[in-house]
Structure 1
Amino acid sequence: MTRPSLLIMSFSPLQADARVLKQIRLFTPLYDVTTCGYGEAPEGVVAHVRIPDHLKAWKYDGKPLRVRAYRWAYWKNPVVAHLRRTMPRGTFDAILADDIDTVGLALHLAPRRGVHVDLHEYAPRMNEHLPAWNRWVRPFLSWMVRRYVRRADSITAVAPHIAQEYAARFGLGTVGVVVNATPYHELEPTSVGEPLRLVHSGAARPARRIEDMIEAVAGQEGMIFDLYLTQNTGPYYEKLQELAASTDNVTIKDPVPYEELIGTLHGYDVGVFSLPPTNFNYEWALPNKIFDYVQARLGIAISPSPEMAQLVREHDLGVIAEGFAATDLRDVLRGLDAQQVARFKESSHAAAHALSAERTMEPWREAIGALLDR
């Protein structure tokens, strides 16, 4: 019996896109999955449409944006134009379109049973701290939501408040939530180290103010802090290296492959993340690293970002700073003791199943199933 066909489309390097890889692993046992994106074919798919490396997805002509010729700007995008020209219409039963810029193309390809859109972050306000973004890009992305996303059969986003904002701002009806959870790992909490072993993993982006986390730990007795940073080139990374080198308890380490990350984190006690609310997505972030820390059976120390704080409180996973300054994080870290951290690590262990990718992907399974299993 022929299985239904599903196209998973993302204008990203698929092998490095953890969220899209979870979709692929979820659906390849159920349907004939074709992928479209940059790089080699992921494991388990029946076919792959590789976007040529020289075509850049985020390359929109500024002139039509300035005169608000948005339809012209979208369809002249190099990737959209290439795929529109080369991919046949009416070939797939359903399409899972990742991120806002794939949606118009997914609708054009006319899948027989419909389109599900996974919007990830809140696109229109992604870089709202930049005046040029607000003037030219934000209206364009808002147009994409009204023009294309509204026509989707179902929609998901990455965090509760982001889903609510999409629904309320654009009249999208119900927007489901699939958090960026990590696959379940069969691990046990380790005993608390002496000194206390703190860790952070993530991208070295200036807007994240990683220097505040370093300053919060620098010189604190009874704790060490290791950072595994991607995007480890450029002036900002060099600045962080210099700052860490000026301390006796902070070290910046080379990043590890994602498949090795949880095992690496497991050797620590507390995962740290402070994120200043410089834009809407940062304010309401619920990032994958929080779920990485849970699967690694760590305690968690965070800034008071609402979505993260709610999760930490609900499961008793760790401590929350009073504010976003380095001094706020320093104060809450200074109050940690081994008994507390041991409790937090046990709480992560207790919540690991509930907060795993396997449990939290159900809205995707339901949405695609509604299209393909009817």
Structure 2
Amino acid sequence: MTSSAKQILCISFSPIERDARVLRQIHLLSQLGEVTTVGFGETPVGATRHVQVPDGLTTLPQTLLGVAKLAVHAHKAAECSSPAAQWALAHAALLDAPEGGWDLVVANDARVLDLGFRLAGTAPVWADLHEWAPEERTHITSWRLLVAPFMVHLCQTYLHRATLVTTVSHGIVELYRERFGVDAKLMTNAGPYMELPVQASRDDRIRCVHSGAAIGGRGLETMILAFCKLPERFSLDLYLVSAADGGAHLAELRAIAEGVDRIRFHDPVRPDELPATLSGYDLGIFWIPPTHTNARLTLPNKFFDYVQARIGMAIGPSEEMVRELENYGLGIVSKSFDVHDLVASMESLTVEQVNRYKHAAAAAALPLSFDVQTAFVRGALEDMLAD
């Protein structure tokens, strides 16, 4: 590292080389200084230096002592007590910036806010919240009772101290403002602009695709059942990453689709290669039921991947996605998340409609690209580093 360059520490307790949002973040940060990343997995593209947290370390206080602290709401004592955070602090010498200080620290998600501020010293902190933290996994009873109050504590304690707070959708921006009084800014999951052509459909077959993680609760079973009921001219290709369950849910999905040759499973594709892979299809599919707040207010990576791929979309009545889809005329919305309504929204689609959605995606590709959607973030970061 050169002493004249701004020194930026980016913390994300995720496999960063597969985390599309953090990879885009690093790409931006690397234009402003030298980036040291802390997280799981190999060195991500754009990082000058990477401190690799050992695989298997949990990112919440899931030790016996940590759980006891959460149980009695000793939240201050529970800060930085997750095995991953403890490892990072024990190896703090690896995180020393030249001249003994960072120019900027980035904390990805509420669970690293405590660690981010501990390592920042006097440096400004950018808190990038990838979802509504208090309800990240409230469908799990133990999480709702033990971890959710800790997430609230971290947000209440640290968000007002952050120089910049960003999050992923309008609805979640409002939740952080209403609950914590934080002037959060919208930074969508938009990907970089891609120069890809519209590949017009010329027959009545409609080739559909879904990309993402094979995580329970996202309605993937219902999606497969809907395609089992759709006419033969509809096909579905899936590019799924195995979840932390060791691939158990992915195996369940394969079992549901067994014997239906119109439903095909593929190996996952790197985030930077995904739009080009998707561009050969007609419609991107995402029907996620509003089982919790984050699902209800989702505006995911795949929405923007479909736009950059120049393909149309079929979604459910998810308010954040519907807002953008209808604004740009990108596709169709089902009445509900029931199989019957999903099938009804699709079965009368024509090639002319599909091609119209593809051209609408081409028109939306620039305004819904990373550089346009995050221009204000770059300006804020430049100001933070100048100060």
TM-score computed with the length of structure 2 as normaliser = 0.91
Whichever residue aligns with residue 195 of structure 2, its letter is: E
Match of 2:82 among 53, 77, 83: 77
Q: Show the counterpart of 1:273.
A: 286
* Cα drift, residue 62 of structure 1: 1.2
Task: Kindly indicate whether residue 375 of structure 2 is the aligned counterpart of residue 362 of structure 1.
Answer: yes
Q: Percent identity?
A: 38
**Does the 8 Å contact 1:177/1:363 carry over to 2?**
no
**Does the 8 Å contact 2:312/2:354 carry over to 1?**
yes
Distance 1:152 1:243, change over 3 A: same
* Cα drift, residue 123 of structure 1: 1.1
Q: Show the counterpart of 1:185.
A: 194
Q: Show the counterpart of 1:12.
A: 14
Aligned-partner Cα distance in 2 for 1:57–1:34: 19
Match of 2:28 among 21, 26, 29: 26
**Does the 8 Å contact 1:94/1:112 carry over to 2?**
no
Distance 1:237 1:81, change over 3 A: closer
* Cα drift, residue 59 of structure 1: 4.1
Aligned-partner Cα distance in 1 for 2:239–2:146: 35
**Does the 8 Å contact 1:113/1:372 carry over to 2?**
no
Cα deviation digits, residues 313-365 of structure 1 (max 9, x gap):
00000000001111111001012111111100000000001111121122431
Match of 2:146 among 114, 136, 139: 136
Q: Show the counterpart of 2:327.
A: 314
Moved more, 271-280 or 32-41: 32-41
* Cα drift, residue 54 of structure 1: 4.8
Task: Kindly indicate whether residue 68 of structure 2 is the aligned counterpart of residue 63 of structure 1.
Answer: yes
Distance 1:85 1:235, change over 3 A: closer
Aligned-partner Cα distance in 2 for 1:96–1:2: 20
Unaligned runs of 5+ residues in structure 2 are: none
Aligned-partner Cα distance in 1 for 2:48–2:264: 44
Task: Kindly indicate whether residue 127 of structure 2 is the aligned counterpart of residue 117 of structure 1.
Answer: yes
Q: Show the counterpart of 1:223.
A: 234
Aligned-partner Cα distance in 2 for 1:18–1:9: 14
Match of 1:336 among 324, 341, 349: 349
Q: Structure 1 residue runs of 4+, over 6 Å off?
A: none
Q: Show the counterpart of 2:215.
A: 205
Cα deviation digits, residues 68-114 of structure 1 (max 9, x gap):
11122223222222323432585101111111122112222234441
Superposed, which structure 2 residues align to 1:229-240 within 5 Å? Answer: 229-231=240-242, 234-240=247-253
Task: Kindly indicate whether residue 180 of structure 2 is the aligned counterpart of residue 170 of structure 1.
Answer: yes
Whichever residue aligns with residue 20 of structure 1, its letter is: V
Distance 1:264 1:124, change over 3 A: same
Unaligned runs of 5+ residues in structure 1 are: none
**Does the 8 Å contact 2:10/2:106 carry over to 1?**
yes
Whichever residue aligns with residue 126 of structure 1, its letter is: E
Distance 1:39 1:247, change over 3 A: closer
Aligned-partner Cα distance in 1 for 2:136–2:352: 40
Cα deviation digits, residues 47-75 of structure 1 (max 9, x gap):
33222335332343211111111122223
Cα deviation digits, residues 122-164 of structure 1 (max 9, x gap):
1111122223222211111100111122211120011111111
Distance 1:71 1:193, change over 3 A: farther
* Cα drift, residue 366 of structure 1: 2.5
Alignment partner of 1:240: what SS?
helix
Match of 1:327 among 333, 340, 343: 340
Aligned-partner Cα distance in 2 for 1:85–1:130: 31
Match of 2:39 among 37, 40, 54: 37
Aligned-partner Cα distance in 2 for 1:148–1:359: 29
Aligned-partner Cα distance in 2 for 1:230–1:193: 31
* Cα drift, residue 12 of structure 1: 1.5
Match of 1:259 among 272, 292, 298: 272
Match of 2:116 among 103, 106, 118: 106
Distance 1:113 1:62, change over 3 A: closer
Whichever residue aligns with residue 185 of structure 1, its letter is: M
Match of 1:297 among 310, 318, 321: 310
Aligned-partner Cα distance in 2 for 1:357–1:100: 23
**Does the 8 Å contact 2:20/2:301 carry over to 1?**
no
* Cα drift, residue 41 of structure 1: 2.6
What RMSD over aligned residues (CA atoms) do the two structures have, in Å?
1.9
TM-score computed with the length of structure 1 as normaliser = 0.94
Whichever residue aligns with residue 214 of structure 2, its letter is: A
**Does the 8 Å contact 1:128/1:280 carry over to 2?**
no
Aligned-partner Cα distance in 1 for 2:59–2:143: 17
